[in-house]
Chain A
Amino acid sequence: DIQMTQSPSSLSASVGDSVTITCRASQSISNSLNWYQQKPGKAPKLLIYAASTLQDGVPSRFTGSRSGTDFTLTINSLQPEDFAVYYCQQSYNSPDTFGQGTRLDIK
């Protein structure tokens, strides 16, 4: 199975800050990497697919990028509603696998 190593596991930031979350795949997954946001008690929500394509309705302050097997999610100008848990997911090979998650808290 493809392993997805997500870092950091948690981080604290303030409204207006920019943050970056990274996922590293254990092998090449092309661009088959998606990012999700999950708020407490809610189902995950798709933010970015195919490494860098913004899902409809997601604010442009969210961006995704790829460098080889490293993928990053950047959130610019953090808003109060962005404090949540973020997961990456590879869909290149079955079984799909998720990163461990990154909890983004308000500093």
Chain B
Amino acid sequence: EVQLVESGGGLVKPGGSLRLSCSASGFSFSTAWMSWVRQAPGKGLEWVGRIKKKSDGEITDYAAAVRGRFTISRDDSKNTLYLQMNSLQIEDTAVYYCTWYYYDRLNPWGQGTLVTVSS
């Protein structure tokens, strides 16, 4: 069974940093493209970014709202996806989901981890 488990969320002050992790199991993580999607409280889904597999150059793409502040990376030896978030703003408050970017569709999704940016 494919499982994605996010961790690392919490409360952080504006301007601060946080690193989220997503532990993957049940599939070949090293050959998977992976994505982060977020959802602000009471709002819709927002694509954050994506990382391709190593053989595709581990190329990353980001939404404009986070480009230059967020960095997606992966450690295939640990089956783990990361989201490094710097210069956090109040509007970055959201549940962050890790998901397998499988043939142009997002499936499955982790349970999400809440990031709250507040002073």
From A32, A44, A45, B45 is in contact (CB under 8 Å) with A44
Q: Does B46 have its Cβ within 8 Å of any Cβ on chain A?
A: yes
| With contact pairs A43-B109, A45-B109 given, residues A1 and B61 touching in the complex (Cβ less than 8 Å) | no
Bound form: Cα–Cα A55–B104 in Å: 13
Q: Does A76 have its Cβ within 8 Å of any Cβ on chain B?
A: no
**A96 neighbours in B (Cβ, 8 Å):** 35, 47, 50
CB of A1 within 8 A of CB of B105, answer no
Chain B 51-82 per-residue mask, 1 if CB under 8 angstroms from chain A, else 0: 00000000001111000000000000000000
**Stretch of A19-27, A64-72, A97-105 lying at the B interface:** A97-105
Chain B 76-119 per-residue mask, 1 if CB under 8 angstroms from chain A, else 0: 00000000000000000000010000011111111110000000
| With contact pairs A34-B106, A91-B104 given, residues A98 and B62 touching in the complex (Cβ less than 8 Å) | no
Q: Does A95 have its Cβ within 8 Å of any Cβ on chain B?
A: yes
Chain A 69-107 per-residue mask, 1 if CB under 8 angstroms from chain B, else 0: 000000000000000000101010011111111000000
Which one of B37, B49, B105 has the highest number of Cβ atoms from chain A below 10 Å of its Cβ?
B105
Interface of B is mostly: strand
Report the nearest A residue to B47, measured CB to CB. Answer: A96
CB of B44 within 8 A of CB of A98, answer yes
* Interface band, chain B: 20 to 34
CB of A46 within 8 A of CB of B50, answer no
Residues A30-61 near B (CB distance < 8 A): 32, 34, 36, 38, 43-46, 49-50, 55
CB of B64 within 8 A of CB of A94, answer no
CB of B44 within 8 A of CB of A87, answer yes
CB of B107 within 8 A of CB of A43, answer no
Bound form: Cα–Cα A32–B108 in Å: 17
Bound form: Cα–Cα A50–B105 in Å: 8
Report the nearest B residue to A98, measured CB to CB. Answer: B45
Q: Measuring CB to CB, which residues of chain B are less than 8 angstroms from any residue of chain A?
A: 35, 37, 44-47, 49-50, 61-64, 97, 103-112
